Structure 1
Amino acid sequence: MSTSPLSRAQSGAGRQSSASRVIFASFIGTAIEFYDFYVYATAAALVIGPVFFPHGSATAQALSAFVTFGIAFIARPIGSFLFGHFGDRIGRKSTLVASLLVMGVSTTLIGFVPGYDSIGSLAPVLLCVLRFGQGIGLGGEWGGAALLATENAPAGKRGWFGMFPQLGPSIGFLASNGLFFGLALSLSDEQFRSWGWRVPFIVSAVLVALGLYVRLKIAETPAFQAAIERQERVRVPVATLLGRHLWPVLLGAFAMVVCYTLFYISTVFSLSYGVSTLHFSRQSFLGMLCVAVVFMALATPLSAWASDRFGRKPVLIVGCIAAILSGFAMAPLLGSGSMALVQLFLIIELFLMGVTFAPMGALLPELFPTNVRYTGAGVAYNLGGILGASVAPYIAQMLAAKGGLSWVGLYVSAAAVLSLLGVLCMRETRDARLM
């Protein structure tokens, strides 16, 4: 069905007026959301165990902290279903504003939750509730941000436009780790454990206000406007998604597993292992992570460009094979205790994270039609999080304690094999139309 001249003009005007803001809005939102998420990941590796689970050994504290870390990944698919429903029914813009609010409020409140010594068992309960809220918010964030970028992208450049929300995690991680690094340098251990760790959570309130200001200025995407005019919206997007598009959801989730596993093994688990077992100082290991994540940020545009040039599948296949091999480097590099070799390991893993993560900003939206795209992309992305991230630090901690780092490396390789199989089974989407 053809659209009216007025509709086409409005769509064109919307594209023109918002094009300069769209990329920044998709980037800044994911940067803030992932800042919030990584603040908790870093805190889980450093202080959540002693503050909220003070009884038991250091290993028991770390395992308890990693359980709370995993709660958000269980919540993320729920957030995808919830926000995806509204994103596919009422629009991308308003849904993205709501997801940012949920994430920001949950993160800020974590900074004010008293520890176990103050309110007893209520402390970890409140922590888990707010961590669940973080997961709900982030579950609705990524799919909308990716659609905001890709549904506004010109032909042949969806991989490049879809890269900008993929850059958000790198910047969010740098901001989070950089702030923790500064606190570690300027505060004593007692000050850091008492109140210093709360500062990054409270700072989130300022960042969320910035993100809301930017997102309220953007227009709705042309693809969604066209779907409204063609009356293509469905009443219950999740029912249509699971009834007609379950296979792409599963393949997309499998493809995402390697990204999550590479990231959270090389950051959350490695940070905990480096400080507690290898006896690196907190600030030195945080500094090494900040260096390594720069390589993740550099890999992101390179991989996005290559995915537009050669296709999504070839880039992901190469990245997955490299990730399989990287698992065998974990024990000799991370286990060496040498700062240079540990730094090399972190650089390799996070560079490969950027390689495998960048094409996802375009690939996952391309797997689904407009009327279920928000829900489909978000659900696939966050189901991959359950498989690749929620249990990764916990399993890695258990494997390291019982079998050593070589077992953790095999875990990384196995996750990459699963993603490789998912990528091999999916169609090439580079030339798919999103209108």
Structure 2
Amino acid sequence: MPPSAKRAARAAFLGFGVDYFDIYLPVVALAPAIHYFQPTSISPTLESTLFYVTFAVTLIGRPIGSAIFGSLSDKIGRRRSTLIAVAGFTVATMLMAALPGYATWGWAGLGCLMALRLIGGVFMGGEYTSANPLALEACPKSRRGIVGAFVAAAYPVGYIAISVVTLPLLAWLPKAGPGSAYSVWGWRIPFVVGGILGLAFFWYFYRSIEESKVWQASSEPAKRRQPIRELGRGTNVRRLVQAFVLMSGLWFAVQAIISPTSSLLINSLKQDPGAVTAALLFSNAVLFAGYLWLGHLGQRYGRRKVLIIAGAGTGTVSAVMFLLAVSILDGGGNFVLAMVLYTVALVIGVSPYGIATVYLLEAFPTRVRASGYGIAYSFSLIIPSCYSFYMLGLSSVMPYAYTPVPLIVLSGVLTVIGAKLGPETRDTEFAEA
């Protein structure tokens, strides 16, 4: 690829990685210290639910950001929109690192944490909505599948990075009780690191990345565009509905397999926090390879066909592997074996994201590409992001630790239906006359 395309791909990968580093700060860094923001008298189930809500508010903010910044990206350009978004979530992350806990502010501390997570989520939604279209518009069609997978694979890299930062802190600092060193100040260090990474990415993007030439060459003047309105017409709205179904399926896999796992293992199944963090680091390293492999298969055999097969695997194999992993730990069995089975469930269920980014970007024309991609990618997250409440409801008919399994099955069903409803996009041309 030309040098400008390589720089754009690297920038989208780095930006997505910093984005996911910040998103999963509560899951990895704050999970062992969440009681710092809560009274000691609450039940373990309510503690887990409040923890999930703290994570979910970020995911709710992302759709708002995707609508705002998708429209900005289509109107003022991908580059400027990305810079504004990165600056916003960097400031929000830094502010979270300074928050006091329940002993000082009572419930207000947790309220401020959730408010900042929501605001940060808005800006995070703007980052990928702007930077990812720029990267894919810069690369040749024959390389688009693997570049899209490379950009999407920043998720496990971001998760690995935050685990590498958090693991030594969990090993070196006392972590028992709300007054322990890790609970009071240790968890703040990964948040500060996230803010520094945001500043570094902002500087790199500002100095190195050019505006998308495909966007600049678009036939309609940017100032006249009304991308959100145009998405509600004709082919665009049909494609938006189909993408919403597909992405809802993929998001249910993420929310069922990834989001609750750390808290389930630590709080419900009573596993050691350090061992959990190390095991999940390994699982996500394998997931990185899964993203690239699915991207390669999508480029070779077609995005739609591979998504259909992957969805079927999620609803069957991934669900069974997750069930077996929980059963082993629930019965006091081998932790390593359980985490190997969990890794299989993770890779099968979440690797289709290696195709999702490029598939959505190929689905919409240049003048509404960022808006269509951002809204399809992010608004489909709203229903799955309430997974903690679905798990709470399912716990009335099954043990709480097993409640992600029905959601994984639902993920596979929706993914297959969404992919079947849509066209193949592999041969789409981005350039416009």
Report the secondary structure of 1:268's partner residue: coil
Matched, 1:207 2:208: no
Check conservation: 2:321, 2:344, Cα contact below 8 A: no
CA distance in 1, matches of 2:311, 2:198: 34
The one-letter code matched in structure 1 to 2:200 is L
Check conservation: 1:320, 1:420, Cα contact below 8 A: yes
Check conservation: 1:33, 1:104, Cα contact below 8 A: no
Which residue is equivalent to 2:408?
Answer: 412
Check conservation: 2:291, 2:351, Cα contact below 8 A: yes
C-alpha distance 213-425 of structure 1, shift in aligned 2 (>3 A): same
Matches within 5 A, 1:49-198: 49-52=35-38, 54-189=40-175, 190-198=180-188
Check conservation: 1:296, 1:353, Cα contact below 8 A: no
Check conservation: 2:70, 2:374, Cα contact below 8 A: yes
1:396 to 391, 404, 411: 391
What is the Cα deviation at residue 226 of structure 1? 0.9
Check conservation: 2:250, 2:411, Cα contact below 8 A: no
Check conservation: 2:322, 2:342, Cα contact below 8 A: no
The one-letter code matched in structure 2 to 1:318 is I
Which residue is equivalent to 2:422?
Answer: 426
Output one character per residue of 1:46-83: Cα deviation in whole Å (capped at 9) or x when no partner.
33354245542121122112122211222111101111
Check conservation: 1:257, 1:416, Cα contact below 8 A: no
Output one character per residue of 1:327-370: Cα deviation in whole Å (capped at 9) or x when no partner.
13322222211213321232112212453100112100111111
Which residue is equivalent to 1:381?
Answer: 377
The one-letter code matched in structure 1 to 2:74 is D
What is the Cα deviation at residue 268 of structure 1? 3.0
Greater shift, 402-411 or 322-331, is seen at 402-411
CA distance in 1, matches of 2:378, 2:429: 24
Check conservation: 2:66, 2:378, Cα contact below 8 A: yes
Check conservation: 2:253, 2:350, Cα contact below 8 A: no
The one-letter code matched in structure 1 to 2:354 is A
Which residue is equivalent to 1:316?
Answer: 307
Which residue is equivalent to 1:11?
Answer: none
Report the secondary structure of 1:112's partner residue: coil
Greater shift, 15-24 or 378-387, is seen at 15-24
CA distance in 2, matches of 1:241, 1:187: 51
What is the Cα deviation at residue 393 of structure 1? 3.8
Which residue is equivalent to 1:348?
Answer: 344
2:323 to 331, 348, 365: 331
CA distance in 2, matches of 1:63, 1:49: 12
CA distance in 2, matches of 1:397, 1:185: 31
What is the Cα deviation at residue 156 of structure 1? 1.9
What is the Cα deviation at residue 407 of structure 1? 4.2
Q: CA RMSD in A?
A: 1.9
C-alpha distance 359-56 of structure 1, shift in aligned 2 (>3 A): same
2:354 to 358, 375, 381: 358
Say how many residue pairs are matched: 419
C-alpha distance 115-401 of structure 1, shift in aligned 2 (>3 A): farther
Report the secondary structure of 1:33's partner residue: helix
C-alpha distance 368-36 of structure 1, shift in aligned 2 (>3 A): same
Output one character per residue of 1:238-268: Cα deviation in whole Å (capped at 9) or x when no partner.
1111234222222222222343333333333
Which residue is equivalent to 1:248?
Answer: 239
Report the secondary structure of 2:371's partner residue: helix
1:236 to 201, 226, 241: 226
Check conservation: 2:138, 2:212, Cα contact below 8 A: yes
Check conservation: 2:319, 2:405, Cα contact below 8 A: yes
Greater shift, 372-381 or 123-132, is seen at 123-132
CA distance in 2, matches of 1:115, 1:272: 19
C-alpha distance 62-53 of structure 1, shift in aligned 2 (>3 A): farther
The one-letter code matched in structure 2 to 1:183 is L
Which residue is equivalent to 1:12?
Answer: none
Instruction: Return 5+ residue gaps in structure 2 as ranges.
Output: none
CA distance in 2, matches of 1:232, 1:188: 55
Report the secondary structure of 2:232's partner residue: helix
Output one character per residue of 1:386-421: Cα deviation in whole Å (capped at 9) or x when no partner.
233x12244335534641255431221012211211
What is the Cα deviation at residue 428 of structure 1? 0.7
Report the secondary structure of 1:386's partner residue: coil
Check conservation: 1:297, 1:354, Cα contact below 8 A: no
CA distance in 2, matches of 1:234, 1:373: 15
TM normalised by structure 1 equals 0.91
Check conservation: 1:26, 1:145, Cα contact below 8 A: yes
2:23 to 29, 37, 56: 37
TM normalised by structure 2 equals 0.91
CA distance in 1, matches of 2:190, 2:57: 20
The one-letter code matched in structure 2 to 1:142 is Y
Check conservation: 1:289, 1:346, Cα contact below 8 A: no
Check conservation: 1:303, 1:354, Cα contact below 8 A: no
C-alpha distance 375-360 of structure 1, shift in aligned 2 (>3 A): same
Which residue is equivalent to 2:260?
Answer: 269
C-alpha distance 401-293 of structure 1, shift in aligned 2 (>3 A): farther
CA distance in 2, matches of 1:55, 1:73: 28
Report the secondary structure of 2:364's partner residue: coil
CA distance in 1, matches of 2:66, 2:171: 38
Output one character per residue of 1:256-312: Cα deviation in whole Å (capped at 9) or x when no partner.
234333333333312111112222100001111001001110011111111111100
CA distance in 1, matches of 2:27, 2:406: 23
The one-letter code matched in structure 1 to 2:321 is A
